[in-house]
Amino acid sequence: MKNLFWGLSILLLASPSLFAETLTDVNQIIQKSNLASYYAGDDGRTQARMIIVDSQGNKQMRQFTILRKDKADLGDQEMLVFFSRPSDVNGTVFRVTKKVNSDDDRWLYLPALDLVKRISAGDKRTSFVGAHFFYEDVSGRNPAEDNFTLISSDNGLYTIKAIPKDLTTVEFSWYKAEIDTKTFIPMKVTYFNEKDEAIRQMQVLDTQVIDGYTTVMHSKIIDLTNDSFTEMQFRGVQYNLGIEDNIFSERSLRTPPKQWLR
């Protein structure tokens, strides 16, 4: 699974650490960051845990396994998220068919109801199973939805301002991405409202190089309006496993592929 964000993270953030030159073309930077964040290897698997903390300090936990397979670099992509803990979400499955040239398809399987619920495009920026991560954070925001301006390239970071092309589809007015100049991983993304007040922020807290890819192992999204947050931690990250195409189907929602979840 790829890096949790070009929006989470969501969800493996990974990148070949091969780029050293300082770039000036903002679209080239965004392309490399998208590649680094979501397209490590041809496929991937990771175990993940989210700790959700509300404004009163109360905590919840979500534990799950993510499978991901690319159809092409910077192209369409398949993803499955299988929840195992706690018991009230055990068996829940989130499925994404990521599309570059149209809206992504997203489904949520609810085992208690034996129901496959389609998540509409209008709900992509709503909470992912009660966390501060949104559905779009998990599968990634399409760069074609924003206009980008390079603000600066110093202190090892490209600082980029992004303005959505359609403000009616999002809860923010613009965001600032701080991207590592060597790995092209977005290390911090801050969202602002129409008053230029910071309302939400994604932070990368830890990375490791796995199979040559800089991989985000710990990230955090904060609601800056009330200081509540969700932390995401990864372990057992693997790439290029040869996951079969037929795994990414509706059948896997009700009958999870146990050989890929061990």
pLDDT at residue 144, rounded to an integer: 94
CA pair distance 212, 234, nearest whole angstrom: 17
pLDDT at residue 121, rounded to an integer: 85
Average pLDDT over residues 118-129: 91
pLDDT at residue 43, rounded to an integer: 97
pLDDT at residue 91, rounded to an integer: 96
CA dihedral over 121, 123, 127, 128, signed as positive or negative: negative
Closest CA to 186 of 149, 158, 161: 158
pLDDT at residue 20, rounded to an integer: 56
Q: Which helix (H) or strand (E) holds 135?
A: helix 135-139
Q: Which amino acid, 11?
A: L
Closest CA to 100 of 71, 125, 127, 123: 71
pLDDT at residue 21, rounded to an integer: 78
CA pair distance 179, 61, nearest whole angstrom: 29
pLDDT at residue 6, rounded to an integer: 39
Assess whether pLDDT exceeds 60 at residue 260.
yes
CA pair distance 215, 73, nearest whole angstrom: 17
How is domain 3-88+123-235 classified at the CATH fold level?
Answer: outer membrane lipoprotein receptor (LolB), chain A (2.50.20)
Q: How does DSSP classify residue 121?
A: G
Count of residues for the chain?
262
Quick: pLDDT tens for 174-227: 999 999 999 999 999 999 999 999 999 999 999 999 999 999 999 999 999 999
Strands (E), the chain: 3-4, 10-12, 14-16, 43-53, 59-70, 77-85, 93-98, 105-110, 115-119, 146-154, 157-164, 174-180, 186-192, 198-210, 213-223, 228-239
- Binned at pLDDT 50, 70 and 90, residue 8 comes out as very low
Name the pTM for this structure. Answer: 0.89
